[in-house]
Amino acid sequence: MIQDDTKKVMHLELIQNKENDELDLILANYTETDDFVPPCHFGNVVIACYTTALARLKLYDALRRLDDRVLYFDTDSIIYVHDDHKWSPPILDSLGCMTDELGGKKITTFVSGGPKNYAYQLNDGSTVCKVKGITLDYKTSQIINFETMKNMVLSQTDDDKVTVTYPSKIMRGKDHRLFSKDMTKDYRIVYDKRQILENLNTLPYGF
């Protein structure tokens, strides 16, 4: 296996049998080398590329027409300011169309600290907070939430950070044994994709 070009060995471990040496084993963790992965007979790369490319074009068309009313967008979603007198994407529950993910509710306050890092308040008073890389359970939600993110964004300082602790987080080692370990993660506002203006609007670098 070590000399097999189609496989990349990630980890080797000797598992000894104390009663009988002939029953010793070697645990090998490996992955298939990309150049030797057999093609899938039930897939089509061209169709897959076309589907994702067309989705990006539809997303760009909506962003272009919404212009500066866009507050945030991802690969498959847009958060924007609605205006009854201006164009808005048609909301239809069908393939290829935008759908309402709020169930008819409206966002009254929105704040974003960077990509995949945003929070908003709805017209019923409830709040939603999304932060990539941090599990927002009950305990961490008391530390990182809508109000926390809003205050950190409005302060516009790079030194602000919030630390969350995960006590006794269950992890798995290379030998596949489970163990618990205390972990901490720092949360801060990181926004370096565009330049931020004084009124918190943003522009691409160079404009």
What residues make up the domain containing 91?
Answer: 42-101
113/190 same-domain check: yes
pLDDT of res. 151: 94
> Are residues 74 and 152 both part of a single domain?
no
Q: In the block, which residue shows the tokens 């969350």?
A: 164
**Where does the pLDDT of residue 185 fall: very low under 50, low under 70, confident under 90, or very high at 90 and above?**
very high
Examine the domain organization and report whether 20 and 77 are in the same domain: no
User: Cβ contacts of residue 176 below 8 Å, gap of 6+?
Assistant: 27
Domains in the chain, number: 3
Residue 176 has pLDDT above 80, yes or no: no
Residue 45 and residue 51: Cα distance in Å, rounded? Answer: 10
- Residues 110, 194, single domain; the answer is yes
Q: Does one domain contain both 95 and 111?
A: no
Q: What is the pLDDT of residues 38-54, one digit of tens each?
A: 778 888 889 989 989 99
Both 34 and 122 in one domain: the answer is no
| pLDDT tens profile 129-173 | 999 999 899 999 999 999 999 999 988 777 789 999 988 888 888
Predicted structure pTM score: 0.77
Banded model confidence at residue 126, pLDDT cuts 50, 70, 90: very high
Closest CA to 115 of 159, 79, 63, 83: 79
pLDDT level of residue 95 (50, 70, 90 thresholds)? confident
